[in-house]
A and B are shown apart, each in its own frame.
Chain A
Amino acid sequence: MIPEIGHFALILALGLAICQSVLPLLGAHRGSTAMMAVARPAATAQFVFILIAFVCLTWAFLDSDFSVLYVANHSQLSLPTIYKISAVWGAHEGSLLLWVLLLSGWTILVCRYSRGLPAPFSSRVIGVLGILSLGFLLFTLLTSNPFERLIPAPADGSDLNPLLQDPGLAIHPPILYMGYVGFAVAFAFAIAAMISGNLDQKWARWTRPWTTAAWLFLTIGIALGSWWAYYELGWGGWWFWDPVENASFMPWLIGTALIHSLAVTEKRGLFKSWTLLLAISAFSLSLLGTFLVRSGILISVHAFAVDPERGLFILTFLSIVIGGALILYAWRAPGLDSEAGFKPLSRETFLLLNNVLLVIATILILGGTLAPLIVEVFTGEKISVGPPYFDLAFIIPMLPLVFLVGIGMHTAWGMQAPSKLAQLIKKPAIVAIVLGIALPFLIYGSSGALLVVGVVAGIWIMIMAAIQPIGYWRKNGTILSMPRGILGMSIAHFGVGMFVFGVVIVSSFSIEADRGLRPGETVNVAGYDFTLKSLDDIRGPNYTAIEGNFEVRKNGAFISDLRPQKRTYLVQQSPMTEAAIDAELERDIFVALGDPLGDGAWSVRLQYKPMIRLIWLGAFVMALGGIVATSDRRYRATGREH
């Protein structure tokens, strides 16, 4: 009964999505207040029904109702409760439902905070969001119904993929989707502006907090995904340039460009059509990611189970939404750009460079991601593109950017006096260069050209980002009253510096060794002594495991006990490696069990990863900067202004 309620609620939501899209758009066109007034109630009701559907599915999981096909395929009686809940979005159908729920959640937030905007504009925004919701609800109901029955019900389910039975992955998808879906709001704002043919600086101010909010979720989502890959499947790697990772990274890059370009549009009224294009692209790349991941068109380790029918549906939807938006763009954008130019040495220039470099990086990554598909379609050859390509394609445009960031944030709008800027830069530049050359030698005892460049860049950004908050604090004794926009920017850029620093150190000084070990033996890796004390058989709720008991010492001093496992999940009989990690801010020690080598020996991977925490910490600091920036009073005022 419960699943039928959920199914029915989804159908009702579909009906409401039609109301929410057609009536407000038509009303805005005709100037009918009554029709526009439908927008908010329809969106709210739609959210309620989607929430009901979501709760029903969650209930079916908690209740282990295996008469629901999706539950039978992705759960099991002895699955721990937290994973029964996260299993709701553990596979295609449920994750789509989550997607729709979040889209609808963003929509009611827009409803709530757009009351101060002109009615035709907010109606159009909500209407466009309604169309998107309509598309995804149709997709769910027609090709991916999570409530499909399986009668008679099996006695037990076939379990959740063991890889997904992990706390990191339980929260990664909702947060990542919050980011993906959040760009729909910026997209809807862009479409609404193009329909009305009116794009002013106020528009940019309305759009900014939404974009930043979506971006910060995406930032956290990607960081969580990377962290999960690191300890759960990466054997210590933290980024693989897998198509699915790229699918989330490209919207992030464009979203970052959009945040910066919106700043120019708000402050100076420039880059209007460019900002629109970025707003369309950020969400388009989110949709494209969905398509790539769920159609099976690209080969990836993360890809969902595949169904050509679904691929075709998303492709059609994609063509309508993105194609429609771009046609509208080609038609409307030419009228929007102003003739005003700007001076070469000004913040505008730096933000333009930021945009150009981010877009170049995105295009290069998109090219590498799609190359296997394109080559195969045209030549029939099956190729793959290795990570070194992506490393380089990313580093080349980013290297100038990381140096420009430091200068850009201290450059004035309009025009900057070169002498003052030079004076400001001089000291930090010297400090960064000296530290960049000295630090690797002092701490790690070696160096290299690229390493120095990277370390200098990381320190440089951190120093430059700290200047303004420190200056404000000295003057006022607090930084809490500092304008939130500037404070947020400084924090986010500081996070970039941490990230750059972490990446450079990890890639230069990581030590990794695969060894064969018998119980009682000790190996030394990176100055740490790893002793395999014993191998024990243990039993978890739905798996059995062999657990290695390692003792780690450095120069005789005890560091940590590590217990990596090799699990076998009982239902799917699939093996899983659970690494054990001793984490400190300045380094991780990572131990994973490989395979039995015979004669009681096991292959073991031992790793030393300096500063790897800074990679994720840097990402979280960036996101924190986003939170601070969205709390700026300037944006809150928009709700009340009339």
Chain B
Amino acid sequence: MRYLFPIIAFGLLIGVFIKGLDPERDLNALPSPFLGKDAPAFDLPKLKNPSERVSSSDYQGVVSLVNVWATWCVGCRQEHEFLKSLAQEESVPIYGINWRDRREDALEWLDVLGDPYIASGYDHDGRVGIDWGVYGAPETFLIGKDGTVLYKHLGPLDRVRWNQDFLPLIQEELENIK
């Protein structure tokens, strides 16, 4: 019997670990707190033209993407090509929030790599990022016609995730409204 103690103790431990890894508890998965709720409003100076402003009212009534990016973030670089191809398809307008970045860096980035965004807001001090619950760049929000957050993606976006996670929601949203 005493030879069975180790395996029993280990079994109990594994049980705790499995519960601990439960995504419900997962402290790092960070589902967007306002999934299905209204996206926080924002109003920022435009990156390219600081005298104009870009705000959440710009995308009222349209299914759109809000992408949080920065030049210091490698993941943003990674998804950039995909965002450009998405922009070319013109299926959804993409709004950018340039987060905790320097304006000249960001402008150069768009200049060199191309600009997939309808407009980017310049969130230098990261205030809007806080409102939006941004934990790291890149993050991409799918906003419904009525301004609710339909989905949030953490990390670089690619075609696979897009087809798998975003497209069905967009379809559904368009049908629902009709």
Contacts and interface: CB of A to CB of B under 8 A. Distances in A.
A470 interface: no
A297 B18 CA distance: 10
Interface of A is mostly: helix
Nearest to B113: A152
B14 interface: yes
Contacts of B14: 315, 318-319, 323
Nearest to B100: A573
B4 A308 contact: no
Given A311-B21, A374-B16, A377-B16, A69 B7 contact: no
A277 B2 CA distance: 12
A419 B29 CA distance: 66
Contacts of A572: 72
A73 B6 contact: no
Contacts of A322: 10
A154 B28 contact: no
Interface of A: 69, 72-73, 150-152, 154, 157-158, 273, 277, 280-281, 284, 291, 295-297, 299, 306, 308, 311-312, 315, 318-319, 322-323, 326-327, 329-330, 333-334, 370, 373-374, 376-377, 571-573
Given A150-B77, A154-B77, A377 B7 contact: no
A69 B78 contact: yes
A322 B14 CA distance: 10
B23 A158 contact: no
A93 to B, nearest CB: 14
B74 A158 contact: yes
A280 B18 CA distance: 22
A327 B78 contact: no
B110 interface: no
Contacts of A319: 14
B138 to A, nearest CB: 13
Nearest to B76: A154
B73 interface: yes
A297 B21 contact: yes
Nearest first, the 5 A-B pairs at minimum CB distance are: A326-B7, A154-B77, A377-B19, A306-B28, A330-B3
B115 interface: no
A308 B6 contact: no
A47 to B, nearest CB: 31
A157 B74 contact: yes
B159 to A, nearest CB: 13
Interface of B: 3-4, 6-7, 10-11, 13-14, 16-21, 23, 25-29, 72-74, 77-78, 81
Contact of A323 (B10, B77, B81): B10
B26 to A, nearest CB: 5
Contacts of B10: 284, 322-323, 326
B21 A312 contact: yes
A518 B98 CA distance: 39
Given A73-B74, A150-B74, A277-B6, 12 more contacts: A69-B78, A151-B81, A158-B72, A291-B17, A297-B17, A297-B20, A306-B28, A308-B28, A315-B14, A315-B18, A373-B16, A377-B16
A570 to B, nearest CB: 10
Contact of B23 (A308, A327, A330): A308
A374 B15 CA distance: 10
B100 to A, nearest CB: 9
Nearest to B29: A308
Contact of B20 (A151, A277, A377): A377
A376 B23 CA distance: 14
Nearest to A335: B3
A287 B171 CA distance: 45
B78 A323 contact: no
Contacts, number: 77
A315 B21 contact: yes
Contacts of B78: 69, 150
A376 B4 CA distance: 28
Contacts of B27: 296, 299
A308 B21 contact: yes
A69 B18 CA distance: 30
A157 B74 CA distance: 7
Contacts of A299: 27
Nearest to A311: B21
A417 B23 CA distance: 62
B13 to A, nearest CB: 8
29 contacts: A72-B77, A151-B81, A154-B77, A158-B72, A158-B74, A273-B3, A280-B6, A295-B21, A296-B27, A297-B21, A308-B28, A312-B21, A315-B14, A319-B14, A322-B10, A323-B10, A323-B14, A326-B10, A327-B7, A329-B7, A330-B4, A330-B6, A330-B7, A370-B13, A373-B17, A376-B20, A377-B16, A377-B19, A377-B20
A158 B71 CA distance: 10
B74 A154 contact: yes
Of B14, B74, B81, most A-chain CB atoms within 10 Å:
B74
B21 A329 contact: no
Contact of A308 (B13, B26, B72): B26
A377 B14 CA distance: 12
B80 to A, nearest CB: 9
A318 B19 CA distance: 15
B72 to A, nearest CB: 6
Contacts of A373: 16-17, 20
Contacts of B23: 308
Contacts of B16: 370, 373-374, 377
A494 B157 CA distance: 58
A152 to B, nearest CB: 7
Nearest to A273: B3
B160 to A, nearest CB: 14
B69 to A, nearest CB: 13
A295 B18 CA distance: 11
A47 B14 CA distance: 32
A293 to B, nearest CB: 13
Contacts of A297: 17, 20-21
Nearest to A284: B10
A327 B19 CA distance: 23
Given A297-B17, A322-B10, A326-B10, A376 B25 contact: yes
Nearest to B80: A152
A376 B72 CA distance: 36
A151 B20 CA distance: 36
B110 to A, nearest CB: 14
A273 B23 CA distance: 39
Contacts of A370: 13, 16
Contacts of A374: 16
Contacts of B77: 72, 150, 154
A572 B136 CA distance: 13
A334 B29 CA distance: 45
B4 to A, nearest CB: 5
Contacts of A284: 10
Nearest to A318: B14
B25 A377 contact: yes
Contacts of A277: 6
A329 B74 contact: no
Contacts of B13: 370
A333 B3 contact: yes
A297 B22 CA distance: 10
A329 B28 contact: no
